[in-house]
C-alpha cells in the first residue's frame, strides 16, 4: 500500500469525524433538578473525536512527508489539527444555540401573555417552559424553579444569559423586580425587536448572497463566452488572413 493511499485513508477518516453527527440531544420537558445547566461548551464525546482526528492528521502528514522529516512534521501537524478542531462548534451545540435563539421571541410573547393574565413571574416561566419545549424551555424552567424557591431575580434570570439576544430580557426582568415596572410591555417590545432584527439579518444575508454569487457565475460564463463566441470568430478571421 502506497504512502498516498494511507494518507488519503487517514484524511478521509479525520474528515468523517467532523461530518458525522453527534448524539441526538433530547431535552426533557420537565425540570428534574434545580441548578444551573452544566457549563460544558462541548459534548462529552467531542474531545475524544478531536484527539482521534488530530492523530489521523498526524499520521497522514508523517506518511506523506516520510523519513525523519515526517517524524517531526507529523506531531506538529497533529498539534495544529487539535488546536483547529477545538475551535469547531459541534453540530449538536450549534443546533441547540440556534433553536434557543429562534424560540426566544415566542417565549417572550408567551411570558407577556401569562403576566397580563395575572400569573406571577415564577408560575408564568414554568407555564411557558411546559408549553414551549426544547432547550430554551429548560432554562425557563430553571428560572421559574429558582424564583419559586426564593432565589433572587438576578440568580434566576441568569440562566437565560447564555442565550443570544436574551440580555435585554434578563435586564428588563431584573429592573422590573427592583422597580415594580410592568414586565409584560417590555417583553412584548423585546419580542418585536428580536423579530425585526432577525428579518433585517435575513434580508442582509440574501443581499450578500446575491453579490457573492456574481463571482462564480462570472467564472463559469466568461470562459464559455470566450470559447463559444470569440474563439470561432478569431479562428475564422485567421483562416481568411492566412
The pLDDT tens digits of the residues spanning 132-188 come to 888 888 899 999 899 989 888 888 888 888 888 888 888 888 888 876 667 888 888
**In a shared domain, residues 121 and 172:** yes
Q: Is residue 170 part of a domain?
A: yes
What share of the chain in percent tops pLDDT 70? 77
Task: For residue 119, give Cα distances in angstroms to 80, 114, 158.
Answer: 54, 6, 21
pLDDT for position 24: 41
From the list 20, 2, 12, 124, the residue with the least C-alpha distance to 57 is 12
Which triple of cell numbers denotes residue 212? Answer: 457573492
**In a shared domain, residues 115 and 73:** no
d(CA 41, CA 93): 8
For the full predicted model, state whether its pTM sits above 0.85. no
171 backbone dihedrals φ, ψ, rounded to 5° = -60, -40
pLDDT band at 12 (very low <50, low <70, confident <90, very high): low
pLDDT for position 53: 73
pLDDT band at 229 (very low <50, low <70, confident <90, very high): confident
Question: CB of 187 within 8 A of CB of 170?
Answer: no
**In a shared domain, residues 53 and 129:** no
Which of 2-6, 153-157, 180-184, 218-222 comes out lowest in average pLDDT? 2-6
Q: Please state the separation of Cα 94 from the chain's center in Å.
A: 3
Higher-pLDDT residue of 2, 154: 154
Instruction: State which residues form the domain around 58.
Output: 49-88
Q: Which of 5-14, 18-27, 135-144 has the highest mean pLDDT?
A: 135-144
**Is pLDDT at 29 greater than 50 in this prediction?**
no
CA dihedral 172, 178, 180, 183 (to 10 degrees): 20
Give the SS3 label for residue 172.
helix
Q: For residue 29, give every residue at least 6 positions away whose Cβ sits within 8 Å of its Cβ, in sequence order, or none.
A: 129, 130, 133, 137
Q: What is the mean pLDDT of residues 118-142?
A: 88
Question: CB of 82 within 8 A of CB of 35?
Answer: no
Q: How many folded domains does the chain comprise?
A: 2
**Is pLDDT at 1 greater than 70 in this prediction?**
no
Higher-pLDDT residue of 206, 13: 206
**In a shared domain, residues 112 and 185:** yes
**In a shared domain, residues 146 and 60:** no
Amino acid at each position: 500500500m502506497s504512502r498516498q493511499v494511507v494518507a488519503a485513508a487517514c484524511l478521509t477518516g479525520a474528515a468523517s469525524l467532523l461530518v458525522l453527527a453527534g448524539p441526538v440531544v433530547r431535552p426533557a420537558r420537565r425540570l428534574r433538578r434545580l441548578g444551573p445547566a452544566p457549563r460544558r461548551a462541548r459534548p462529552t464525546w467531542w474531545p475524544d473525536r478531536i484527539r482521534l482526528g488530530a492523530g489521523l492528521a498526524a499520521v497522514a502528514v508523517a506518511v506523506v512527508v516520510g523519513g525523519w522529516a515526517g517524524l517531526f512534521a507529523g506531531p506538529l501537524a497533529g498539534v495544529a489539527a487539535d488546536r483547529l478542531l477545538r475551535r469547531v462548534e459541534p453540530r449538536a451545540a450549534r443546533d441547540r444555540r440556534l433553536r434557543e435563539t429562534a424560540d426566544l421571541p415566542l417565549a417572550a410573547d408567551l411570558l407577556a401573555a401569562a403576566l397580563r393574565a395575572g400569573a406571577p413571574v415564577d408560575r408564568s416561566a414554568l407555564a411557558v417552559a411546559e408549553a414551549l419545549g426544547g432547550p430554551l424551555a429548560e432554562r425557563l424552567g430553571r428560572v421559574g424553579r429558582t424564583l419559586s424557591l426564593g432565589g433572587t431575580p438576578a440568580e434566576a434570570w441568569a440562566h437565560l444569559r447564555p442565550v443570544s439576544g436574551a440580555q435585554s430580557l434578563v435586564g428588563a426582568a431584573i429592573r422590573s423586580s427592583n422597580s415594580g415596572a410592568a414586565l409584560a410591555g417590555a417583553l412584548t417590545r423585546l419580542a418585536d425587536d428580536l423579530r425585526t432584527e432577525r428579518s433585517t439579518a435575513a434580508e442582509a444575508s440574501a443581499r450578500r448572497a446575491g453579490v457573492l454569487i456574481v463571482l462564480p457565475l462570472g467564472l463559469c460564463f466568461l470562459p464559455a463566452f470566450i470559447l463559444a463566441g470569440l474563439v470561432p470568430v478569431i479562428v475564422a478571421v485567421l483562416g481568411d488572413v492566412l
